[in-house]
């Protein structure tokens, strides 16, 4: 199983002063960067094949990797047009995405409990989505809608006449089987070829779900603490509300 962590963006919505911006995966909580948390929890879950998709200030992330001294090689892929949409970043990792085996596609700007990752990696080869039914309504969350257990929508804005029986927020982590990852890469390539490089990669995931060529299961992680960090208030909430609920990080014996 391979983990691809998307960490290329500028994080403009954090509203840091000019010249003080840095990749969001370097945000620290209780003295530990989001990147280090990702790597430690992946290793605990038995995932040591990791690809980092970088763009904005990659040298800072590489320096953090060196500081962490993670005992496994990390493949780094650079998206030089990180100012465009994340679908382009996914396109830059097409090779590791389609290299074989199950793939975890993970946003880097998420502070989360180990139960989230455990739900994603559990079991044999599978396509998997994560849903949190306890979410704040509004325009920002990416909603995952199911009907009879089948995904029928993955978007921030829902159609008025959409029929579903379950709704929640997508955690932003996806698991793809080998053949599904290959099909996803083809869809992403179609976005690039048609001039849609400025779109979020969730749009391509949505297309994959709605074409129904692959079967997905959904793990319900409602009750497990997590937060995607986009805005200054998200940082405040992460420190005050989410961090105290997290299980202590487990260090794998060397």
Residue 251 confidence (pLDDT) above 70: no
Distance (Å, rounded) from C-alpha 103 to C-alpha 99?
Answer: 9
241, part of any domain: yes
Q: If you search the block for the tokens 């994080």, which residue do you land on?
A: 11
According to DSSP, the residues that pair with 100 across neighbouring strands are none
Q: Which two tokens stand for residue 66?
A: 């060196």
Count of structural domains within the chain: 1
Neighbours of 5 (CB within 10 A): 26
Contacts of 227 (CB under 8 A, 6+ apart): 110, 111, 112, 234, 237, 238, 241, 242
At residue 6, the pLDDT reads 98
Distance (Å, rounded) from C-alpha 4 to C-alpha 103?
Answer: 7
Distance (Å, rounded) from C-alpha 219 to C-alpha 198?
Answer: 29
Least-confidence region, from 9-13, 70-74, 241-245: 9-13
Q: First-to-last CA distance in the chain?
A: 21
**At 136, is the pLDDT very low, low, confident or very high (cuts 50, 70, 90)?**
confident
Residue 12 confidence (pLDDT) above 80: no
Q: If you search the block for the tokens 């979410």, which residue do you land on?
A: 135
Could you read off the pLDDT of 64-90 as tens digits, one per residue? 999 999 999 999 999 999 999 899 999
Could you read off the pLDDT of 151-205 as tens digits, one per residue? 999 999 999 899 999 999 999 999 999 999 999 999 999 999 999 999 999 999 9
251, part of any domain: no
Question: What CATH number is associated with residue 72?
Answer: 3.90.550.10
Q: If you search the block for the tokens 């579903």, which residue do you land on?
A: 164
Could you read off the pLDDT of 19-30 as tens digits, one per residue? 778 999 999 999
At residue 17, the pLDDT reads 73
**At 137, is the pLDDT very low, low, confident or very high (cuts 50, 70, 90)?**
confident
Pairing of strands 128-132, 166-176: antiparallel
Distance (Å, rounded) from C-alpha 25 to C-alpha 108?
Answer: 5
The DSSP call for residue 19 is T
At residue 107, the pLDDT reads 97
178, part of any domain: yes
Residue 133 confidence (pLDDT) above 70: yes
Distance (Å, rounded) from C-alpha 17 to C-alpha 3?
Answer: 32
Contacts of 209 (CB under 8 A, 6+ apart): 129, 151, 154, 216
At residue 253, the pLDDT reads 56
Residue 249 confidence (pLDDT) above 90: no
The mean pLDDT value for 89-99 works out to 98
Average per-residue pLDDT in the chain? 94
At residue 189, the pLDDT reads 98
> Which residue range forms the structural domain that includes residue 237?
2-245
Residue 252 confidence (pLDDT) above 80: no
159, part of any domain: yes
Are 237 and 227 in contact by the 8 Å Cβ rule? The answer is yes
250, part of any domain: no
């Amino acid at each position: 199983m391979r983990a691809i962590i998307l960490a290329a963006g500028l994080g403009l919505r954090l509203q840091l002063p000019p010249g003080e911006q840095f990749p969001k995966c370097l945000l620290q909580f209780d003295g530990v960067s989001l990147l280090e948390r990702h790597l430690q929890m992946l290793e605990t879950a038995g995932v040591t094949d990791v690809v980092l998709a970088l763009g904005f200030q990659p040298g800072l992330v590489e320096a953090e990797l060196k500081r962490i001294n993670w005992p496994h090689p990390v493949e780094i892929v650079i998206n030089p047009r990180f100012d465009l949409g994340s679908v382009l970043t996914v396109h830059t990792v097409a090779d590791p995405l389609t290299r074989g085996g199950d793939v975890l596609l993970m946003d880097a700007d998420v502070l989360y409990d180990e139960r989230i990752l455990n739900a994603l990696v559990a079991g044999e080869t599978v396509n998997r989505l994560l849903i949190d039914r306890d979410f704040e309504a509004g325009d920002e969350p990416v909603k995952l809608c199911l009907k009879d257990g089948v995904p029928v929508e993955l978007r921030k804005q829902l159609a008025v006449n959409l029929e579903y029986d379950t709704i929640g927020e997508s955690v932003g982590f996806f698991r793809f089987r080998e053949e599904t990852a290959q099909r996803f890469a083809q869809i992403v390539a179609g976005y690039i070829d048609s001039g849609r490089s400025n779109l979020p990669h969730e749009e391509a995931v949505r297309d994959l779900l709605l074409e129904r060529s692959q079967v997905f299961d959904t793990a319900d992680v409602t009750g497990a603490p997590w937060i995607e960090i986009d805005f200054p208030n998200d940082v405040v909430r992460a420190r005050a509300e989410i961090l105290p609920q997290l299980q202590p990080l487990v260090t794998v014996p060397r």
